Structure 1
Amino acid sequence: MTPGGEAESARRSPTPAAAGARRATLLTEDGVPIETRYESSRAGGGLSADTPVIVVAHGFTGALERPALRRVASVFTQRTAVITFSFRGHGRSGGRSTVGDREVLDLAAAVRWARTLGHRRVITVGFSMGGSVVLRHAALSARNKPEQDEEREGRTGAHTSGADAVVAVSAPARWYYRGTAPMRRVHWAITRPTGRLVSRYGLRTRIDARGWNPEPLPPVAAVPLIAPTPLLIVHGDRDPYFPLDHPRMLMAAADRASTELWIEPGFGHAETAAPAELLDRVAGWALARTP
């Protein structure tokens, strides 16, 4: 099947989600093929349009088949259906990583597919870079989004399929942060030719060398636009990449009536460090807010 063929066929004749696992290659709005996997819930009771689905957005250098993401999917499918995918430049997806910018189009394609499969309720859960992506996707999807912010993003269509609840785990609040040694290494990998070579062959992540133009909306500017969609911000007090001023900045900018902040003792960073107990609580929170 040609890239995006399964998704295109599904768009022409929407049907309820099928049981079991299935794969698809989705085409983003800008024509990048994205590898995607759908897994039905193992909770029993069958599937229907009333079954929520969690769309998982991984962190930088992650991918659909990486063990950490497979573990996240395994925990979430204990409760509901799950869609995982590889961002552009990661895994078997096409294109090059823009490190959180045009990745919003990858997430939008996965959310649209979830609705095409018949799911009326869609939850987005993002980790680290994926956390910043789910925040911006939700902001772009909000009906009350100011026109000037849409123009600043320099694109349309990324906001056409919003989520019913949003969870950002280990997400940055602002761009260009270099305050920790791990983040200085990340910036070296992104901005230097040698670093991009190491990323490509050592981390299997292909990075776009052109940089951002224009600069995407920062996460801290995105969170006020998400309300009234329920938002959960999760961060560990042992995060080696982003210290606690990042989640606190996000929470300070968010609508408190629709947003919660969990500071998790002993938790490190993103999907690689998230314990099963925390992932289960995240899923429980999201499902409770998408009745």
Structure 2
Amino acid sequence: MNLTTPEIRTVNVTRYVTPLREGGSLPAIAEADDGFLYVIKFRGAGQGVKALIAELVGGEIARALGFKVPEIVFASLDTAFGRSEPDEEIQDLLKASVGLNLGLHYLSGAITFDPSVMHVPYKVASQIVWMDCLLTNVDRTPRNTNMLTWNKELWLIDHGAALYFHHSWDNWQEQAIRPFLQVKDHVLLLRATELEEADEEFKQILAPERIRSIVSLIPDIWLQSEWQESPDEVRDIYTQFLNTRIAASDIFVKEAQHAREQLI
């Protein structure tokens, strides 16, 4: 098993292209100094760095599990960036986001996944449901699937609403072993017929060392202003939360199976 820590490139944002006004975080399409377009998630948005951490950790766990995820980069904003932006709300957002943000490679021409048109294989559906239960990702519903079809392939995007335990930090041990009740709203739940097989396979892939290597990607600067603990201590809590949840995966697998039975 290759446990090499993933490498995340850093790019400098050079041009604000257009806002993406889905949700309240005001992500945007922007161009970077490498010539590529990215969907930028800003640290100055409503959920702050916690949404960026969830995006980073959730996206790289999805990639480790073999799903297609747009390349994730650290996106640096200069203090002068956005001064000419006429929209005051966007200008305020950019001013509050100077420094290190997060970007995902923009999949030009991708279309929103439509479950009535594209049928996901039962195995893949089960794997996605399993992963979202692990990550406590509340944002993969029929109303907002956060999946794209690009080049006739399924891509997973937007994990910023995952890991919501970090919004209520003190009882993370208790939250790590809770079932994921929101799985009942998952867009792929009906097709998740192979959850036990996904559980067995993915627990082998997500060894404790792999989880630690992914969590180690979280930059210190994102952790220094949000928690009283040191950055290393915060990363250790994220690591323990995920490893505890993986070890107790039968809890969320059984909840998902029960929720699916209620839909049949």
Q: TM-score, normalised by structure 1?
A: 0.27
Structure (1/2) with the larger helix percentage: 2
Q: TM-score, normalised by structure 2?
A: 0.29
Asked which structure has the greater RCO (Cα within 8 Å, sep 6+), the reply is 2
Q: Which has the larger radius of gyration?
A: 2
